[in-house]
Amino acid sequence: MTKVPITGLTKTRLAPALTLEGVATLYRSFLLDTIDLVIKVSHCSFVIAYTPRESGQVLRDIVKKPIEYIPQSSGDLGDRMNKVFKDLFARGYESAIIIGADSPTLPLSHLEAAFAALEQTPVVLGPSLDGGYYLIGLRTPQPGLFEGIDWSTKRVMSQTIERAKKLGLQVLCIKTWYDVDTVDDLNFLVSHLKLLMASGRDGLPHQTVDALRQLGLLL
* pLDDT digits 0-9 by tens, 107-156: 999 999 999 999 999 999 999 999 999 999 999 999 999 999 999 999 99
What are the domain boundaries of the chain? 2-184
124-135 residue pLDDT tens: 999 999 999 999
For residue 19, pLDDT over 90 is answered with: yes
2-184: what fold? Spore Coat Polysaccharide Biosynthesis Protein SpsA; Chain A (3.90.550)
One-letter amino acid for residue 5 of the chain: P
Q: Please provide the DSSP assignment of 37-68 as one string.
A: HHTTSTT---EEEEESGGGHHHHHHHH-S--E
Q: Is pLDDT above 90 for 202?
A: no
